[in-house]
Every structure is written in structure tokens, then in C-alpha cells.
């Protein structure tokens, strides 16, 4: 379960119902027309789970692999990584997902080091099939593990790509298992498509519960049971010039990659030239508590009042640890914390920091996950996706493209081809 | 060696020499008067290295420990973590530094899991001695490892704290080795004090080279051989309202923690109420390339032009990896990259992205580390510290305090004591 702690400064600042309703209708229309596909992934992706259940009955090498290598970047890795980071401490199946994202030689070398073929599944993710980091890394792993596509090795590989892409043609050539990204789902909204479902399924997560959590949230939004999200979207829109920086302050290391996923979603979706030719956008920042109370909080409290903060916490960590009843000579003044649990401490720190921000006039709210679970992961993903779509609709931008990144790609290709 | 790639938009935009010289003189005066101590750490900390060399000759348990546990938060961990992340792939002594920073029960439990006493050194860092995350974690580790301070166990512990703090008294009580933070060095400027030197020395790094790299940079700044830094500081100051967001875009995963260290330095030093009672400050963001080209670049290119970007790259990764001469059927269009190295690719991506930003009118520059080395780590740390001091002087804030974080701490203590 998610609990939304709505505070007055975020939710009651002159909500404009006309703008809110217009955005709601646009989002509903995007969904109903099928123009944008992520709204229906929680139901359509159940077929992917079924297909995986069937396929892995006969193809044991995939499901028995202890190392699940994911080669992908941006929207092709951040979502699965966020969910894996949140939940991996609850798995005890000895599997690990290894994300090859960056073209960093040290990172690649380190991760290659203990890979062996007969224990590895490879999931290659690229919409176009031509992402340079992804294909370069794939070639390196193929070479390192001596993979022969004309042999049984091909059954260790899964390709996730657009239908008819060059990667799709490659997969068909060698009988490699292929899943497609729906054409109406962009990379950063694709975590609940095969992009996230395949690696998470192979790692042993309950992907049905993940989809169910997202489905329930989206249904409840369209059933008008989550109208607080319209108010929050409106606040971000109305204060885009005075509060252009939006912070996610997550109180657990396990949520750090959820923040990174959010940063892409928010930054890349809303940072656009709008229909009037103006540069608009909101700048996302991910922080981790309590650590970043000691690095960034000073700036939020005393610096320019150009920020909003959404706290995320986990009410019950389930695996807790107690602060011992230990009194250290001369340090007795810290004894007030003895006998409490770290679960209690970190959540108290979250609340104290939020209170200090509210007292300092910084718009703040909090989303609590009852526990770290697939269901809650699905819900919070759906929440941020819908919030992003609503703000995009209000800003009158194309929330779903990213034309600005092409320039650098073209410069790069010219460097190597000249 | 550091190379500064100065671009016209960052360095030639109406530099005001009077303001630049005034800031230079203030910084020089801070240094010469001894009011601010970080400028002289590169020489004074050589005594810490000598002391460690002596002490560990007789106390073998510290120097032979494979697990070096650092318990500290914010300025007490970020600096050593940044340097360790940059250089750890070059060590082959089997040691690891384990940073206990957060009050996250899952994180603490995971890190405790494979600690055993007879293989562990514990470095406890807290200026005041009362930092609640730090002391709570220390108590937990003491209890977990069954440490008895009245035994030889005490020789496995090092305390780094203010002179006369409660932690200092505790250390003296049990004959625990103690190093002090100079009273004129704040936490976020303390990496070259015992705070960073002790863990890095025990892990086997060349701390003398680290200090030398910093010393050379600071000397060269005061000798007026680095005046480009005045121009850059002035640009940040003069454009504080139009470019309030400053990005460090580091092209290697190994630089990610250097960005986090910078984020604290910049955010906490400059986010202040100035002498006229106004909230001022600049918001730092750390990005990692090439990954974040696929998550954040769109916002920088097409979103509001409120950002500056400083790229950091490593010219020679030393341990490189080649992209194989492998042509995959149907994916031949990526063959242009074959035979190149990832070292070449990632640096070409850095340059292409920087060029695309310059073409889009985003002020950008680049700092290149010739290699990942202690010397270069020292130099770049000194560079960012001096830059921060200069901008702080221009903004007329107290660069070295952090009064804004007290409110949340007080609310927290009341929660537990009521």
C-alpha cells in the first residue's frame, strides 16, 4: 500500500480545476485511443509473464542462470534496476542481475571478470537496435564468452527491441527469443513492458504482483480516487518558474535507483521546446536520506526557495536491526536512541527533515511504501508516470519524445566515420 | 596532470577583474591568517602520514586489516569515498573500505554480514562526537563484533574528531588512537585531513602523492598560474540568477562519488543567507556519462537555459578493453566502432556531448585527468575547493558553516526524548 501524506503547501495552493480537468481528459484520451501505451501495460504485459512461464519450461538455461546480464541504457535499464535495488535483499535464490549500461572500460572489465557462459543469461535491449554503447558491449560479451549464435548458445540470449528493427532481424536470423517494445511505449515509460518484466521474471521476482500494483493505481486514478495527483501536477505546472527544481528525497539506499529512474522520467519527458517555441522543463534531483541531510539540506533550507521536495520512505523494512543498549563513556548524551531500531530512526529522521522544510516554507510531501514489495513498486512507478503525463499535458509539450539528444549522437558518428 | 579545456562561453563573458581580485585577496587572506585551514592541509597532513607510518609499525592489526570500516557521514565519508572509487581498480592488495554512512537497516545489515573482528579496522569519524547516525552505527558494530574496549580490541579502532569533543574523551579513556580535525577545517573541506588520509593510508593508497597533487595546485593558484579559476568563479557569481544549476558530468562510473563529494561542497557551502539577509546559492547536480546522455541530456539541451556543465574525463584509463572486430548480421551499421577501444569511445562521447551543448548555447567546459592517480585526485579536489571559496567570497556568504541543518536535528532529538 502507498500512503500519500499531503501537506497544505503542495496541495491547496489555488488549484485550477479547469486546467486539472483538461489534463485529466487528455491523459484519458491518450489511454483510450491507444496513442500512448504505458497505461495498459499492467494488463497487456501479463501475456509476457505467461509467455515466459511457458518458454522457460522447455528452455531451462535461461531460468537456471545465476547471472542475468542486462545490456541496455537509459530507459532500457533504469526501471528494472530501480525495482531490483528496492527488492533484491528479499531474494535468496543466489541470482544477480548485472547491468551493463556504460561505455566505461573499467566498469565493463570489472563486470566481465566473473562471468562464465554456462551460468549466464543475456538480455539485450535496444529499441532501434543501433544504440552504440549497447551493441559495443554486446559484441564484447559475445567475444568474451565465446558465444556461437549457430549453436545452443543462442538460447541463452533474449532480444528486446522494436518490431522490424535491425536487432529484431538479427534475432530472427539465429532463432534468438525476441520480445518487442510496443510502438506506443517510449523507453522511459517501458519498465512494465518486456524491458523490465523479462529480467525481473528471470531473477525470480513476482512480476504479476508488480503489474497488479501498477494496474490498481492506474484504475484508481481513472476512477477519480487519486485526484490529489491532479492538484500536485497543477502545483508543479503553476510554479514551474518559481519552483523549477523538484527533489525526490528517498529514505533508504534501496530507493536510490528509483530516484534515478524518476530523474530520467521527469527530466527527459518535461524538458522540451513547447508548442510556442519556448524552452520549458523541470529539473529533477534524487537525494538519499539520511545521508544527504549532511550534504544538500543546508542548500534547500537557506538557499533560494526554488525547490519542491517529495519524500519517499518505507514504513516497515521487515529486516530491522536494533541499536544496542550500550552506553559509551563520555558519549552518554546519545543514549536517548538506545533500544530503538534503525527502522524507527531513519523514518523519524525523514519526518523531522520534512517538518524542518515545511517550517522553512519549502513545499514538501511524502509517499510511504508500507513495505518494499513488487506490488508497491508497481504502484509508485504508475504514480510517477501518471504525474509526469499530467504535468506534460499542462505544459503543452510532447511528453514522449526526446529530439534534443540526436545532435550529440550525430557528432559522435561523424567522429568515427570521418 | 589536469588539463583545463576552457571554452569561450564560460571564460570570456565580461570578466570583472575588480570582483575577481577582491575574491582572490579574501581567499589569500583566509589562507595567510590561518582563519581557514584547508589550504595548508597538503603540507600539514604530511605529519599524519608520518605518524601513521610510525604507529602501524608497532600496531600491525590496523595495517593488516583487510576490511577498513569507515563510520562517518557527509564530509566525514564523501571525500575518502570519492578517491577510493576513482582508484580502487588499481589496488590489488585485497583490501576494501566499507563506508557505513546511512541509518538504513538493510544497508547496515548487509554490510555487517561478512565482517569479522580479527580482519577489521574501525575508523570512527565525527567532529562533535554526537552525530546520531554515526554513533548508533558504531554501537551496533561494537556489539556485533563483541569489541571490548578494555582489551587489545581497542587497537583496532581509530577516532577522528574535534579536540576535546566527547568522542575525544572516549578515545582517551580507552587508549584508542585519536586524530583531530583542525578547528579551522570544516567537514566538507576535510578530505585531506586525517578524515581522508587515515582510511586511504590504511587501504594502501599513496597519500603523499595525493597531498602533493593538492599542494601543487594550491601553490600554482596563489602564484597566479591558475587565473582561469577566477574567471569561472566570476561567471558563476555573475550568472547566479540566470544559471543557478551547475552540473558536473563525469565520464566514468569511477568518478560518480567525486561528483557526490562536489555536490556537498558546492551546495552546502554556497546555499546560504547572505549578509543582506537574502537566500542565495547554486544548485549542484552530478551526472555520469555516457549513461546520463540517455536520461538528462534532453532537459539540458531543450529545457530552460538555467544550467552550466563541467565535464570531467580520464584521458587514459590504463586498463582498456577493445571492441571486437565482430560484424553481426543485420546490425552491420554499427561496425564503424569495431576495433576501437572503450577508452576512445567514452571520451569521444564526452567530446560529442560537450560540442552539442556548446552548439545549443549551454556554457560548458571540461577538466581532463591524464590518468586516475592519487596526484590527480589531489589536484582536482583542491581545484573544486578553491573554486567554491572564490564563489563564496563573491556571493558574500559564510562558505564554511551550515546553520540550516540544525532545525531538523532538534526536531529529531525532541521526537525521541519526549
pLDDT digits (tens, 9 = 90+) for A292-349: 999 999 999 999 999 999 999 999 999 899 999 999 999 999 999 999 999 999 999 9
Q: In angstroms, what separates the C-alpha of B408 from chain A's closest C-alpha?
A: 5
Residue in A145, A225, A187 with CA at minimum distance from that of residue A399: A187
Asked if A334's CB is within 8 angstroms of B135's CB, the reply is: yes
- For residue A362, give the 3-state DSSP assignment: coil
Strand pairing class (B283-288; A279-280): unpaired
State yes or no: cis peptide before A290, omega within 30 of 0: yes
The residues of A annotated as belonging to the active site are 268, 294, 409
- Give the containing element (helix H, strand E) for B53: helix B46-58
Q: What is the DSSP string of B146-211?
A: T--TTSGGGGGEEEEE-TTSHHHHHHHHHT-EEEE--TTS-GGG-TTSHHHHHHHHHHT--HHHHH
Grid cell digits, residue A402: 526526446
How far is residue B237's CA from residue B44's CA, in Å, rounded to a whole number?
31
**pLDDT band, residue B114 (cuts 50/70/90):** confident
Between CA A395 and CA A401 the distance in angstroms is 14
What are the chain A neighbours of B73 within 8 Å (beta carbons)?
A: 290-291, 294
Q: CATH classification of A2-33+210-400, choosing from 3.40.50.1370, 3.40.309.10, 3.40.50.10490, 3.40.30.10?
A: 3.40.50.10490
Q: Which residues on A lie below 8 Å from B262 (Cβ)?
A: none
B98 shares contact with chain A (CB less than 8 Å): no
pTM: 0.97
Q: Residue by residue, what is the 3-state secondary structure of B57-71?
A: HHCHHHHHCCEEEEE
Mean pLDDT (chain A, rounded): 96
pLDDT at position B393 is: 98
Q: Which residue of B has its CA nearest to A144?
A: B324
Is some CB atom of chain B closer than 8 A to the CB atom of A113? no
What one-character DSSP code corresponds to residue B92?
A: -
- What residues 6-65 of chain B have any CB closer than 8 A to a CB of chain A? none
Residue B418, pLDDT > 80, answer no
Q: Percent of chain A scored above 90 by pLDDT?
A: 94
What pLDDT, on the 0 to 100 scale, is given for residue A12? 67
Give the CATH number of domain B2-32+210-403: 3.40.50.10490
**In the structure grid, which three cell numbers stand for residue A282, read together?**
523541470
Q: Which residues of chain B from 249 to 288 reach within 8 Å of chain A, CB to CB?
A: 251-254, 260, 263-264, 267-268, 270-273, 279-281, 283, 285, 288
- Residue A398 near chain B (CB below 8 Å): no
Mutate to test the interface with B, among A138, A334, A372, A373 (most CBs of B within 10 A): A334
The answer to whether A7 and A358 have CB atoms below 8 angstroms apart is: yes
A279, burial (CB in 10 Å: exposed 0-12, middle 13-18, buried 19+): middle
What span, in angstroms and rounded, lies between the C-alpha atoms of B37 and A400? Answer: 50
CATH topology for the B38-205 domain: Rossmann fold (3.40.50)
Residue B102 and residue A270: Cβ atoms within 8 Å?
A: no
Cβ contacts of A57-60, under 8 Å, gap ≥ 24: A59/A155, A59/A177
Measure the CA–CA gap between B268 and B75, rounded to whole angstroms. 10
DSSP type of residue A151 = S
Tell me whether the CATH fold assigned to B2-32+210-403 matches the one assigned to B38-205: yes
C-alpha cell, A41: 501495460
Do residues A191 and A79 touch, judged by C-beta distance below 8 A?
Answer: yes
Contact with chain B for residue A130, Cβ under 8 A: yes
The domains of chain A are located at 2-33+210-400, 38-205
Nearest to A342 among B104, B251, B355 (CB): B104
Instruction: Give A35's pLDDT tier (boundaries 50, 70, 90).
Output: very high
User: Residue A417 — pLDDT band, cuts 50, 70, 90?
Assistant: confident
CB contact under 8 A, A352 and B328: no
Q: Tell me the nearest-neighbour CA distance from B126 into chain A, angstroms.
A: 12
Q: What is the ipTM of this complex?
A: 0.97
Q: Do A103 and B349 touch (CB under 8 A)?
A: yes
User: Region A43-67: what's the mean pLDDT?
Assistant: 96
Three-state DSSP class for residue A380: helix
Cα angle A282, A193, A104 (rounded to 5 degrees) comes to 65
- Read off the DSSP letter of residue A308: E
Of A79, A20, A46, residue with least CA distance to A380:
A79
Give the three-state DSSP class for B417: helix
- Residue A331 and residue B166: Cβ atoms within 8 Å? yes
* Gyration radius of chain B's alpha carbons: 23
Euclidean distance between CA atoms A395 and A237, whole angstroms: 7
Contact B26, B386 (CB under 8 A): no
Using CB atoms, pick whichever of A271, A303, A336 lies closest to residue B271: A303
Residue B362 has pLDDT above 90, yes or no: yes
Residue-wise pLDDT tens digits, B10-19: 776 689 999 9
Out of A89, A140, A270, the one facing B321 most closely (by C-beta) is: A140
Q: How confident is the model at residue A14 (pLDDT cuts 50, 70, 90)?
A: confident
* Distance between CA atoms of residues A212 and B407, nearest Å: 41
**DSSP symbols for B266-316:** HHHHH-EE-TTS-EE--EEEEEETTGGGGTTHHHHHHS-S-EEEEEEEES-
Q: For residue B326, which residues of chain A lie inside 8 Å, CB to CB?
A: 139, 142-143
For residue A6, is pLDDT > 90? no
Q: Does A340 touch chain B (CB under 8 A)?
A: yes
B136 close contact with A: CB closer than 8 A: yes
| Spatial distance between the Cα atoms of A323 and A416, rounded to a whole number of angstroms | 57
Q: Which residues of A touch B334 (CB under 8 A)?
A: 130, 132, 135-136
What pLDDT was estimated at residue B10? 76
> What tens digit of pLDDT does each residue of A182-228 get?
999 999 999 999 999 999 999 999 999 999 999 999 999 999 999 99
Give the pLDDT of residue B12. Answer: 67
Residues A31 and A389: their CA atoms lie apart, in Å, by 11
- CA B204 to chain CA mean position, Å: 18
CB atoms within 10 A of CB B79: 31
Residue A8 has pLDDT above 80, yes or no: no
Mutate to test the interface with A, among B154, B162, B303 (most CBs of A within 10 A): B303
Which of A79, A90, A102 best tests the B interface by mutation, with the highest count of B CBs <10 A? A102
**Whether B306 contacts A280, CB under 8 Å:** no
Average the pLDDT over A259-287 and give the result.
97
Alpha-carbon Rg of chain A, whole angstroms? 23
Calculate the CA B48 to chain-centre distance: 19
* Nearest-angstrom CA–CA distance, A8 and A361: 11
Cβ contacts (< 8 Å) between B397 and chain A: which residues? none
For A317, list phi and psi in degrees, rounded to 5: -75, -10
Q: A356 and B408: CB-CB below 8 Å? A: yes
Q: How far is the CA of B302 from the CAs of A269, A307, A406, B152, B361, in angstroms? A: 11, 20, 11, 61, 10
Are residues A290 and B260, on separate chains, in Cβ contact within 8 Å?
Answer: no
Amino acid at each position: 500500500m502507498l500512503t500519500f501524506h499531503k501537506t497544505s503547501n503542495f496541495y491547496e495552493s489555488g488549484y485550477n480545476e479547469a486546467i486539472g480537468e483538461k489534463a485529466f481528459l487528455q491523459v484519458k484520451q491518450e489511454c483510450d485511443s491507444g496513442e500512448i501505451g504505458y497505461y495498459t501495460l499492467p494488463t497487456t504485459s501479463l501475456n509476457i509473464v505467461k509467455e515466459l512461464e511457458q518458454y522457460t519450461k522447455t528452455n531451462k538455461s535461461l531460468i537456471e542462470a545465476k547471472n542475468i546480464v542486462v545490456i541496455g541504457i537509459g530507459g532500457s535499464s533504469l526501471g528494472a534496476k530501480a525495482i531490483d535495488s528496492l527488492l533484491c535483499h528479499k531474494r535468496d535464490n543466489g541470482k544477480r542481475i548485472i547491468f551493463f549500461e556504460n561505455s566505461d572500460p573499467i566498469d565493463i572489465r570489472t563486470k566481465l571478470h566473473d562471468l562464465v557462459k554456462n551460468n549466464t543469461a543475456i538480455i539485450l535491449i535496444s529499441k532501434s537496435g543501433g544504440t552504440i554503447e549497447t551493441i559495443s558491449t554486446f559484441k564484447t560479451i559475445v567475444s568474451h564468452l565465446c558465444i556461437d549464435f549457430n549453436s545452443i548458445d543462442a538460447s541463452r540470449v533474449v532480444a528486446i527491441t522494436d518490431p522490424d528493427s535491425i536487432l529484431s532481424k538479427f534475432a530472427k536470423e539465429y532463432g534468438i527469443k525476441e520480445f518487442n517494445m510496443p510502438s506506443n511505449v517510449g523507453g522511459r515509460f517501458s519498465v512494465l513492458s518486456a524491458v523490465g518484466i523479462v529480467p525481473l521474471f528471470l531473477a525470480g521476482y513476482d512480476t504479476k504482483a508488480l503489474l497488479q500494483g501498477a494496474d490498481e493505481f492506474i484504475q484508481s486514478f481513472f476512477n477519480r480516487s487519486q485526484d490529489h495527483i491532479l492538484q500536485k501536477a497543477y502545483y508543479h505546472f503553476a510554479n514551474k518558474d518559481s519552483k523549477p527544481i523538484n527533489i525526490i528525497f528517498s529514505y533508504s539506499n534501496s530507493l536510490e535507483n528509483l530516484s534515478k529512474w524518476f530523474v530520467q522520467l521527469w527530466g527527459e519527458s518535461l524538458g522540451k521546446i513547447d508548442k510556442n517555441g519556448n524552452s520549458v522543463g523541470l529539473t529533477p534531483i534524487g537525494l538519499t536520506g539520511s545521508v544527504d541531510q549532511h550534504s544538500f539540506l543546508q542548500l534547500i533550507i537557506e538557499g533560494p526557495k526554488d525547490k519542491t521536495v517529495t519524500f519517499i520512505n518505507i514504513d516497515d523494512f521487515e529486516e530491522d536491526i536494533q541499536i544496542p543498549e550500550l552506553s559509551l563513556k563520555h558519549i552518554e548524551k546519545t543514549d536517548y536512541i538506545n533500544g530503538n531500531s534503525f527502522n524507527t530512526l531513519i523514518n523519524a529522521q525523514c519526518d523531522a527533515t520534512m517538518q524542518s522544510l515545511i517550517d522553512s516554507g519549502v513545499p514538501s510531501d511524502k509517499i510511504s511504501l508500507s513495505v518494499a514489495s513488487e506490488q508497491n513498486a508497481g504502484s509508485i512507478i504508475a504514480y510517477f508516470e501518471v504525474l509526469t503525463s499530467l504535468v506534460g499535458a499542462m505544459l503543452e509539450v510532447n511528453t514522449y519524445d526526446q529530439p534534443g539528444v540526436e545532435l550529440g549522437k550525430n557528432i559522435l558518428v561523424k567522429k568515427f566515420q570521418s
